[in-house]
Amino acid sequence: MDKLIPDPPCNTTKPYSPRTMFMIVPDMDTESLLAHACESLASANVMASDFATCLAGPQRNTALAISQIVMLAELAVNRALDNLDPQ
């Protein structure tokens, strides 16, 4: 009887090594990472909110929900920054 599923190819390739194009420097300090994450989340929140204004109905609700999730993540990052450096 013939096999319906072929055998997987032999693994003769070299192990995966990540590209450095979008890699974060390994020794980056936590405060800088959180600050950049906060800025990115704030930008994503504005983009999602702006996009929601172009929509109607369920699509608008979905875009606004995404905006709220991003905002909550931004608040969490801000709290982490405050915990790191209470001032």
pLDDT tens, residue by residue, 2-39: 677 777 777 666 777 777 788 888 888 999 999 999 99
Per-domain residue ranges of the chain: 30-84
The residue to which tokens 């194009």 are assigned: 21
Rounded Cα gap, residues 3 and 8, in angstroms = 12
Asked if 44 and 18 touch (Cβ cutoff 8 Å), the reply is no
pLDDT digits (tens, 9 = 90+) for 56-76: 999 999 999 999 999 999 999
Q: Is the pTM of this model over 0.95?
A: no
Q: Which residues, including other chains, have CB under 8 Å from residue 74's CB and lie 6 or more apart?
A: 38, 41, 42, 45
